[in-house]
Structure 1
Amino acid sequence: MTVTVSSILVSIVYVAVVRWAWRVLNWVWFRPKKVERCLRQQGFAGKPYRLLFGDWKESSDMLKEARTKPIGLSDALLPRVMPFLHQLVKDYGCLLA
């Protein structure tokens, strides 16, 4: 049984692709889920991790809705400028203070 150069090259490429795929999967899914689990164990509540885009759709919808409403001079700016952050603080409280 002879081992050809092409079979060795195919094996090396296969190992490199599998290793790269594992790193991407770790970066995109496993590490964020691990951080989420650690934060929940420490008592931080929040929305679950969603792959790649997260809360982007919800955030953009809230921003569009906030911009359709008129704002008065005496109104708070945070619900208008950053409605998603304002909603998170209302739901989960301010963790910085």
Structure 2
Amino acid sequence: MQHRLLKLVRRHTHGAIFYHKGQLPKILISVHQLRVVKREGVRVWVDDLDGLLGLVEMDAVELHPWNATVDDIEHANRVVFDLDPGAALLETL
């Protein structure tokens, strides 16, 4: 899992989906937390399957990893290109 912080998208008990900010609900010890002052809030990372299952228990539906690691959050060490195909291409599949 490379010790990358995760921005979480969670499902609210009323069904709404939202980017999580602020205090986290009670979580398993296998989900590590780091308070990031510049980015308003707590971010998490996991090292193993238990941690991933802990995020599922928190109703996390999407995990957005940072491009930097926990050890050096100010310096990215990878780049991700998220290329979404156009609607015309999807119709041909």
Give the TM-score taking structure 1 as reference length. Answer: 0.18
Give the TM-score taking structure 2 as reference length. Answer: 0.19
Q: Higher Cα Rg: structure 1 or 2?
A: 1
Q: Which has the higher strand share?
A: 2
Taking CA–CA contacts closer than 8 Å with sequence separation of 6 or more, which of the two structures ends up with the larger relative contact order? 2
